[in-house]
């Protein structure tokens, strides 16, 4: 019983950490990555399709992304979708491919990225604390139903707190590392 609660709590907290890391990929750091286009969807024959499934998306250097669609008739749709996604640059369509030229990040842009990253980290911590509360409620319910003793309940809640502390520390470590990466000039 308790092991199930511990395992479920651990899995949910790990999932929150992984979700935060996926969100980080949408942030711009010093070097541009194709993940800034992960949220761009193209209307491809009536289906919202990710950009990387309708063409090749490559970061050719630190400031340029080139998109080569597999079907040339999608160029205008891709251009429209990128404009709508507001990725921070205007697409350049040369008739064969679309190029995105990202200017070097200013200090203010880097600081704004760090702010966004910290908000994402705080959201992950809130999610982890909610997971802790749900797990502790399940433990208290078992104690109330006399399925575990008061001592077992206290020990189990302490174990949940240790799991929580481990994941909060992991998030803090990731935030610190990512902040250093973003602010590096």
What's the pLDDT at 185?
58
Closest CA to 136 of 163, 111, 113, 116: 163
Residue 22 · residue 176 · CB < 8 Å: no
DSSP β-bridge partners for residue 48: 43
Q: What is the DSSP letter of 167?
A: H
Tens digit of pLDDT for each residue in 110-125?
888 899 999 999 999 9
The average confidence (pLDDT) of the chain is 89
pLDDT-flagged residues of the chain (< 50): none
> HSE on the CB side for 169, CA within 13 Å?
6
pLDDT at residue number 117: 92
Q: Rounded CA gap, 163 and 10, in Å?
A: 7
pTM score: 0.73
Alpha carbons 177 and 166: distance in angstroms, whole number:
17
129 Rama class: left (phi>0) / alpha (psi -120 to 50) / beta = alpha
């Amino acid at each position: 019983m308790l092991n199930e609660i511990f395992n479920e709590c651990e899995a949910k907290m790990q999932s929150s950490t992984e979700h935060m890391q996926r969100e980080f990929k949408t942030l711009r750091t010093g070097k541009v990555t194709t993940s800034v286009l992960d949220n761009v969807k193209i209307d491809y024959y009536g289906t919202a399709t990710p950009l990387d499934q309708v063409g090749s998306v490559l970061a050719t250097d630190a400031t340029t992304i080139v998109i080569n669609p597999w079907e040339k008739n999608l160029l205008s749709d891709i251009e429209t979708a990128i404009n709508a996604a507001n990725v921070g640059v205007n697409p350049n369509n040369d008739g064969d491919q679309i190029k995105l030229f990202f200017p070097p990040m200013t200090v203010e842009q880097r600081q704004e990225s760090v702010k966004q990253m910290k908000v994402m980290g705080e959201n992950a911590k809130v999610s982890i604390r909610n997971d802790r509360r749900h797990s502790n409620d399940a433990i208290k319910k078992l104690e109330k139903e006399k399925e575990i003793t008061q001592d077992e309940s206290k020990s189990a809640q302490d174990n949940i707190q240790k799991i929580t502390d481990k994941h909060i520390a992991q998030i803090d470590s990731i935030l610190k590392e990512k902040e250093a990466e973003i602010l590096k000039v």
